[in-house]
């Protein structure tokens, strides 16, 4: 059984103030956030291997990794090669570690969907979704289910409400978008380890996401001018002052859902 971990930073244990995510203004806080993320990832890697994984791939989608901190058993992927590994059927299940809830979620730390400044709502075939679902939609084409999630309580609730009996590790409780309260560190890492170890057993218990095509993709921006900037020379319908729509007949990448916006 091979596992792909898609790693973020917003949902890492100990990242309890939004200022920690500002690399330019808070270098010390940002580095602490990155190190905490690495420890969370390693707890998941250990849990997956102890649960029987033969290989664990790790994608640092947003370039927050700290050199030398990753578990040496993990195989690192970048944004250029991870989808190739999926398409070659080298992955059986996937996990979202240190993730965040979709934009607009109440009491969710750093809730966002892709672009936190410009994107207000994003939907696939009428379902308003976040990045977990976008990843799962692509993975579902290759019969790969989401089996494990770690992050704040809101991200974990989103995971179970959408994907069913996913193994979750809520390592902190959001007080609002900008602050959270983390549980004790040793408890958090054990939760992540246990969720990963359980998650690998769920391959046949959780149905992969299936997206019917042609798929309707709708994005509502936070401002009208963002909508106008996206329009020239693109096959997009404008539904209202802030909302654009496109249709896709098929998809071969996660980017197929979000390109052109």
What are the pLDDT digits (tens) for 116-138?
Answer: 999 999 999 999 999 999 999 99
Q: In what order do the strands lie in the sheet with 215-221?
A: 127-128, 119-124, 215-221, 243-248, 237-240
- Cβ–Cβ < 8 Å for 167, 147: yes
Distance CA 182, CA 193 (A): 17
Residue range 235-241: average pLDDT? Answer: 93
C-alpha 225 chain-centroid distance: 28
Distance CA 82, CA 138 (A): 12
Average pLDDT, the chain: 96
Reference 13, options 114, 152, 195; nearest CA is 152
- Cβ–Cβ < 8 Å for 80, 211: no
> What is the reported pLDDT for 80?
86
pLDDT at residue 13 tops 80: yes
The 10s digit of each residue's pLDDT in 62-114 is 889 999 999 999 999 988 899 999 999 999 999 999 999 999 999 999 999 99
pTM for this structure?
0.96
> What is the reported pLDDT for 62?
86
Q: Helix/strand/coil (H, E, C) string of 114-134? A: CCCCCEEEEEECCEECCHHHH
> What is the reported pLDDT for 61?
84
Q: Hey, what domains does the chain have and what are their CATH numbers?
A: 2-113+131-202 (3.40.50.10780)
The 10s digit of each residue's pLDDT in 135-158 is 999 999 999 999 999 999 999 999
pLDDT at residue 234 tops 90: no
The kind and range of the H/E element at 86 are helix 82-87
Residue range 215-221: average pLDDT? Answer: 97
């Amino acid at each position: 059984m091979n596992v792909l971990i898609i790693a973020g930073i917003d949902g890492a244990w100990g990242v309890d103030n939004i200022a920690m995510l500002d690399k330019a203004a808070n270098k010390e806080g940002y580095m602490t956030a990155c190190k905490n993320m690495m420890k969370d990832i390693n707890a998941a890697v250990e849990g997956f291997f102890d649960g029987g994984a033969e290989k664990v791939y790790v994608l640092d989608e947003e370039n927050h990794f700290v050199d030398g901190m990753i578990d040496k058993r993990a195989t690192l992927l970048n944004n250029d090669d991870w989808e190739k590994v999926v398409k070659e059927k080298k992955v059986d299940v996937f996990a979202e570690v240190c993730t965040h809830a979709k934009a607009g979620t109440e009491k969710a730390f750093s809730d966002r969907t892709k672009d936190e400044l410009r994107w207000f709502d994003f939907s696939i075939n009428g379902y308003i979704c976040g990045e977990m679902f976008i990843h799962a939609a692509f993975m579902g084409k290759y019969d790969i289910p989401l089996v494990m999630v770690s992050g704040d309580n809101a991200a974990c609730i989103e995971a179970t409400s959408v994907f069913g009996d996913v193994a979750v590790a809520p390592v902190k409780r959001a007080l609002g978008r900008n602050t959270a309260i983390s549980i004790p560190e040793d408890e958090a890492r054990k939760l992540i380890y246990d969720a990963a170890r359980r998650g690998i057993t769920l391959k046949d218990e959780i149905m992969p996401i299936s997206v019917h095509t042609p798929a309707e993709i709708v994005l509502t921006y936070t401002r009208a001018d963002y909508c106008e900037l996206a329009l020239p020379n693109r096959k997009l319908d404008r539904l209202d002052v802030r909302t654009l729509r496109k249709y896709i007949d098929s998809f071969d990448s996660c980017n197929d859902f979000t390109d052109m916006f």
